[in-house]
Structure 1
């Protein structure tokens, strides 16, 4: 059977009941992984740290997770995560609602200055929308513009048309819906009543009706049985009376539990005979299932930027853990021995200890307080009374008297005798020994993990078929199941940039501040300065040398000059205005000045250009964004003639109707379809990363 990859409507009924128990938890931080996994880190007064995970990609889920199952925080947060942090840091989780019986959850958060609702669409392509207190979309992962509804920043959030909600159906409505069908019982329950295939079959089984019975042959007897089964199932789940299960499937000759294939809030009769594991809560079951959905046998080892797993670090980590566990075992042994010695000492000094306990007990019964009792023992010490000399002090808060026996000071309960106090110490020794047994089991697990890591390191060291292919020649990176990530940050990446077909670096400002910085700090004597004739274009500089190298007077091929001119025109208002071409000019650095002509004023980011100019007339706009896989893995963008030859795959844009962010998301989805390793695309070419290379204004992908 296929593995479950999306939560069902029935699942969400159970989930909302549990998640509302977290009401009052305070949001610390929001994280976004790729473009489909949202993590909210929260603090709850009773439970401590709470991690809420919402995923809306190929896998669709929502649940809390234990810290060990939470992925490491991603690098620089994308704009969506920054927005959420600004809006929600310190906000209180108020409640979560399921929208009807749809696979939509509304998470409501409250803060003194503003309320926020997160809508998680766990159906179709999936989406997450952040709404303000008026229901207006602040931002969303995917923009939706349909006749029936709109989900876009600045607009009122539009829910999809609601489907039948069986939670609200009377028997008469239920029977009427059933009679309207033209198929069999199980398909009607699955589709018309929105239970889906699995729960459609489950309800038929619980009702004792024939699944394939045609609707025309069914009557009130079957409908009443189905309605009763549906009510009992949903009422139990709504009340929180769940018994969650994770189900496994094994091959006939397979040992062990097998692979996880489903997670449900209740045991299902449809799965009778399947191996399953029970959990205390549905959240815990969902966490276990979805955390282990891809890899059920071995733990993932963190990967370095080079793409090579960090085996050495993980091996050293396991060795340190083993040392700590061995030290803990020694401590447990010593602690258990001390508790046994204390118990034996009580029996060795039975008479005098019994006298002490009797004296304290009688004094308490007589209404004396602990301060008086301690004073009486001090008086006894002065008189040389043995029982008093053994008393080290009293503990009024816990109702104990501290007594020295042999080499130990023991806290004794005066309300019970010597035997009961000794028995308590023996039980404590036994409890500590049980902790030691647990530590012994843990250390064996860690040693097994260590051996597995050593074996995997050895396997990794041997070249794989893909690595042999890489060493021997051309690599089909698009079809590779795993693409290693190799990237080194460069100084020019915060500007607009590309490399020409001849390898020259071209940089452009994103705003007035960067225009100033490029001219004053990075433009050297023999570089080339470009600017579009149109207003609102960036300063564009073709570098003939690196910043750390001496400036050289060299000839720049005409092809590179034309690409730099196209870059200057593309990122100007020409693209934003929807025009297909514009003019640009080129001058040498000494012709560029911050000194205005007499009577004129230069705004920030503006420059005076004097002398002859070289013009590039009717230069067509052009932008392509692509992904390189060697020698580095990164997104690059710029004129198509410069980008396409150096990328594994690229997408060309032209002025169009889609906003910059929406066009970037479309390109991201296209890249995910082209690469077999979709996780590589998510890590390297997120929509935010693609957007950095997009011209200002509307765009569309060139067919």
Structure 2
């Protein structure tokens, strides 16, 4: 069986969906190998180094490759590579498009001074053309001058005449194309509908139609089955619902090949299963008899396939380099994060469902009470659960409304099940309506607490992911130290003047509290109300954290974390600067700011000095605590608040002491106590940010007045020096 050496139209649909996930990546350098392979080295916020390979020779493919799979930098760059570097250095990947359903990809890059589109023709002889923002060819690997189209420097790029695009066909258009054919079903799907031989056979198999049936003998049911199979397959690959596979030759073929290779013993697992022969975005029934390997992404599958295809075809032609299993570790943690994010989403839905059930009990109080009273009375009279269920069945037959909502009983747990507005609710007859509702509210709260634990866990996993990505980058830098021009440091990005800034948000477990990170990187959290004050102390304060509070009334509980919630607490020294910033935070978000004062006092204690037990004869209100032992005071601490916007590694609003925020944000606005209400002041800050950023839409998405207000102290404010 011959190896696949060209991507299909269906492959490009799936590939385009994945490649657009790298939108916003910045081009560092471009390389040309021989006359048919272009490599773009890019930087992505989430992925770090990104290597895009586009090949248009005997092998025609495009994919993101692992750094260890890219060839070493060639010698002196040819003019085509110099032109690419000149036009693309510092440009952002904006969008990847497939032209119709043809084997043509368009890579659009944007830069403030000019836009550039690379067109990769992955059919025929193959070609790569570079276009300016007006569609004019800047340069191309091959010059094409035909009656139907021209690809030459200085001319408008001419796409080849497009063939049928099944992505745009409704059923009537699909059936009409089928009826116009004069051959059998499989050849019609392959040629007239542009799917090619393999997918023509696959769609016939999935549709359950006879492949060799002549069109003249086919009926509407055959066309409908094929259309449904086509829609399902294309919908999956368009939406990125892929399950990629790399296929190997059959075991018996591999054994025959091994027998002819000097009868070598112990050739290894890969030799036993033979050569790689195909790569697809979805498992194919037409390949069900071949050994296969699954991959997390189509890009990863393509990288594995074409890297090893080249290795097998050119065995011994080039040394390969080994590298630690960074990608496996990174992929593992990404999978864990996806699972954790899914769990968080499930917790949110589950908690909301439990609350809806509780509210339904109160909305239908009389009906629920009637059902529970009926069950209690029947059981008290000596009837069994079967009798109770039978009684409700009789009530349903008689049209009694309460009985119509009873869907069953649970004798083992002593529950009766009601259906209200699509929810099935198990109720304890002895508990009454209120206690059953309270139980549901408690369950909702318990689920939300699990969500908090999951958020803390996902933070820990993200930190591990960042560590592995950092190790990978360190290795890559060392690996390329000796390569020509590979040691150049990327310039700092001027985010304020960028015309387009990608939005990258990450939900954190502490987002619902007041928070900031000190100049030394310590997380500081504070409560927004009495409930959060108690929650922070009871759930998030560990043995070696630092507890702060303003001497003034109405201040938030403030905790400087010395470890993540999922990590063991450690006794570490906190720099004086961070302690002072935490004290300033505690004072700023207290009544000191609200009263218009410029400074106040704060104190710090260790967690074991904080107690919910009041002194004898005293009473603690909600959110209040008793402090025992010596305190460290921060006297006459000035209030201070700055609100800023970060652009990397995530885009978001941050706020807190100016000395901490100004070093973390791309731009900041300093505040001081003033006459403007919190909402009005937030709008003034928002307008200031919009004036500073060239990309005003970015400010609207990331730093709305409502988002800014979350980081402002209670009470009146104004922009400092305004």
**TM superposition score normalised by structure 1:** 0.45
Highest CA radius of gyration, 1 or 2? 1
